[in-house]
Amino acid sequence: MRRSLLSRRQRSYVSLLVIVLSFIVWYGQQQGWFGTVAKQVESSQPGLYNISRFVDGDTIVVNMNGKYETIRFVGIDTPETHKPNTPVQCYGPAAAAATKNLISHAGSKVRLGSDPESTNRDRYDRLLRYVYLPDGTLVNKWLIENGDAFYYPYFPFTKSAEFKQAEDKAIAAHKGLWGNCTPTPTDQGGYKMDETQAQANGQ
């Protein structure tokens, strides 16, 4: 009888606990507690850096634990908007806006990745990096796929073939700069804007 009585008591406690927990979960959902917690966890993911400034389509400045670093996207090049002695090139402002909009809509936080075949910094002391959104989107490749950037074949990097394929598809679809400008082929297998191709048609 005693064992049976304890068993019934235990079942009562468990049932009461389930009811209380269910109420807490329901109430928390109504108050948005769990969504807030999820956003806090996402925003505090290790390795995510806040954007300090957008320079142009292929360059950003991030706050790396209190130190501001200029990041040059590995494997891509966008039409110029701020290069000294160079006019704003065709599609330059649109490419810069594409980068800013994509990253801003993702919360203005990025994860950075180096490439084993690339140097750590360029001659301007900018860090050369792959730039990822919190959801894993590779910004470098996304810009090429959407016609906002050129594939950059002049220095080795591991994703070279992947980026070249993405560029070929963008060219075939006349996306972005491929439908609005006339890029000039280079001897190294890439493309560039001719120095005379200033911003055209508001692009």
pLDDT digits (tens, 9 = 90+) for 82-95: 888 788 999 999 99
More confident: 17 or 93: 93
Mark whether 80 is an active-site residue. yes
Read off the pLDDT of residues 96-128 as tens digits, 9 standing for 90 and up.
Answer: 999 999 999 999 999 999 999 999 999 999 999
Q: Within 10 Å of residue 194's Cβ, how many Cβ atoms?
A: 12
Residue 38, pLDDT above cutoff 80: no
User: Domain ranges in the chain?
Assistant: 2-42, 47-192
- pTM of the predicted protein model: 0.75
Average pLDDT for 134-154? 98
Catalytic residue among 72, 129, 145, 167: 72
Q: Which of 111, 121, 126, 162 is catalytic?
A: 126
Active site residue 72: yes
Among residues 8, 9, 42, 80, the one annotated as catalytic is 80
In CATH, the number for domain 47-192 is 2.40.50.90
The answer on pLDDT for 201 being more than 60 is no
Q: Reply yes or no on whether 117 is catalytic.
A: no
